[in-house]
Amino acid sequence: MEPIISLHKINKTFKERPDLPPLKVLEDINLEVFDGEFLVLVGPSGSGKSTLLRIMSGLEKSYDGEVKLKAGISSADTSFVFQQFALLPWLTVEENIELGLIGRKISKNERKRRVAEELKLFGLEQFKNSRPKELSGGMRQRVGIARAIVTNPKIIFMDEPFSELDSFTAEELRKELLNIWQKRKPTIVMVTHIISEALKLGDRVAVLTPRPGKIEKVTSNSLPRPRAERSGDFYKLEDELYSLIKP
Amino acid sequence: MRKKLMKIYKKRWHLAITLLIVLFPFLFFLVFSGLANIPSTKLLLDILISGWRLLAAYLIAAVMAWCLAVLFHQEKFAAVALPIFDVLQSFPTFAALPLAVFFFGPSNFTIIFFLVLTVIWPILFSIVSSLKLIRQDWEEAAIMSRLSGLDYLRYFLWPVSVTGLITGSIIGLGEGWEALVATEIIVGIKTGLGSFFQQFSNNANVTIFGILGFLALIFSINKLVWLPLLEWGHHETEE
């Protein structure tokens, strides 16, 4: 099966300031992501997982190596969910969700129809004219996810999307995300530092080593969904991942 | 329009008081022109002509400053362009004024040209600094939304630069009013506030009251236009 994203020998070194030595953050990363899978990247702080996600999404352009998208897939088929939501404060909820459709030159009527669908799906209809600052963190991230999926992307990149939320809201949003993923089947590549989150969501979990980040292991997770966090198999996988992650 | 005004002013009484403040300098000039035996039409005409010159210069400067800031705010261009702009803004424009009068005569063109050179710099630097303060993830959200061309300007660059434009306009116009009178006097044009102050330069009372009226006019414009706009601009980008 041809992967939807292939990473070949990715190396990344930050040379921000001439008075400081270069900082190597990623070394020889080779990874394949398959169509429709939910891949999670985990690793200790500073292992370069967010940098790797940014390289895959095209937000980080300066690196060595090759990122290849499957034939027929372009960067317009991808979207991104940000850790701190990144909603534009001068736009309403509705306009924020619409933004990706405007960028992709979708007609106004079609934009309205698709945005209305997402507003309904995420329970945001009554907030459509609100500004992001009037919403709670959970609602803001709902808008962030709605903005990412309204374009029907083939690949969604998510950078610690639930880390700014309280645990109850995060749990609720994880369930909503899984529902959407199971219905629409986009490929999702997500970064997290929470092992249980990685195991609840991911089909595969790629573990990165401390800086410079290398792929330590890619673990498959075939536990049936919905996954019970208190089952023996879940604990077993959790222990395995904890033993792989070195601080 | 009414809805927009109420959004800026929030309360009706705020708008009413602001309008009263705006009326004040005109009433002041009317009474003052009567006391100083100056035809009130001449005085109002001088104010309007000077105001028109400054407005024309401001509009040209604002458009140019916004375009230059948008073109040169990115790091790779800013490193070269900003030091050049900095040197240019330090250039003593008044030193070249007699030369311009020699070539172009005491005309509106000469005055507006020199006002543009005065007003443009605070607006330019203010917009550049507001663009440099753009949050990285906002910019990345715009990139991932594939905004480009006019959509990028409309939905992203314009909203993030508008606060800088307003702040720069307040400073630029403050300097502009000052330069306006001086330029009109140096150029020696026979209309406008410069000619008014020069005509009464040997009459301390008229000059002092003229300056007071002038200050009231500037204050009322700030109160009516710029301060509400500034508040609105901050409100727009507030998270």
Please state the rounded mean pLDDT for residues B173-189. Answer: 90
Q: Using a CB-CB distance cutoff of 8 angstroms, which residues of chain A are in contact with residue B142?
A: 88, 99
Dig out the tokens for B67 from the structure.
Answer: 């375009």
pLDDT at position A80: 97
Q: Which residue of B has its CA nearest to A88?
A: B138
Considering only CB atoms, which residues of chain B are within 8 Å of chain A?
135, 137-138, 140-148, 151, 155-156, 159, 236-239
pLDDT at position B10: 65
Least CB–CB distance from A99: residue in B137, B155, B238:
B155
Please state the rounded mean pLDDT for residues B147-160. Answer: 94
Tell me the CATH number at B149.
1.10.3720.10
Q: What residues are paired with A83 via a beta bridge? A: none
pLDDT range class, residue B1, cuts 50, 70, 90: very low
pLDDT at position A228: 87
B151 to A88, A131, A147, B70, B74: CA distances (angstroms): 14, 20, 17, 14, 19
Domain with CATH 3.40.50.300 in chain A: 5-73+155-244
Q: What is the pLDDT of residues B203-238, one digit of tens each?
A: 887 788 778 888 888 888 888 888 888 888 888 888
Structural domain total, chain B: 1
pLDDT range class, residue B9, cuts 50, 70, 90: low
CA angle B70, B169, B26 (to 5 degrees): 155
Q: What is the DSSP letter of A213?
A: B
Least CB–CB distance from B238: residue in A80, A83, A89:
A89
Residue B2 has pLDDT above 70, yes or no: no
- A141 vs A84: CA distance, rounded Å: 8
Min Cα distance B236 → chain A (Å) is: 5
pLDDT at position A220: 95
Tell me the residue range of the domain where B192 lies.
2-237
Q: Using a CB-CB distance cutoff of 8 angstroms, which residues of chain A are in contact with residue B159?
A: 88, 90-91
Min Cα distance A161 → chain B (Å) is: 13
The yes/no answer to whether this complex scores an ipTM above 0.95 is no
On average, the pLDDT of chain A sits at 94
Q: Using a CB-CB distance cutoff of 8 angstroms, which residues of chain B are in contact with residue A89?
A: 236-239
Q: Which residue of B has its CA nearest to A100?
A: B145
| Alpha helices, H only, A4-136 | 49-57, 93-103, 108-121
**C-beta separation of A86 from A99 below 8 A:** no
Q: Do B155 and A78 touch (CB under 8 A)?
A: no
> Does domain A5-73+155-244 correspond to CATH entry 3.40.50.620?
no
Residue B122 has pLDDT above 90, yes or no: yes
Q: Which of B75, B144, B158, B160 would you mutate first to test chain A, the one with the most A CBs within 10 A?
A: B144
Q: What is the pLDDT of residues A69-124, one digit of tens each?
A: 999 999 999 999 999 999 999 999 999 999 999 999 999 999 999 999 999 999 99
pLDDT range class, residue B155, cuts 50, 70, 90: very high
A108 to chain B, any CB pair closer than 8 A? The answer is no
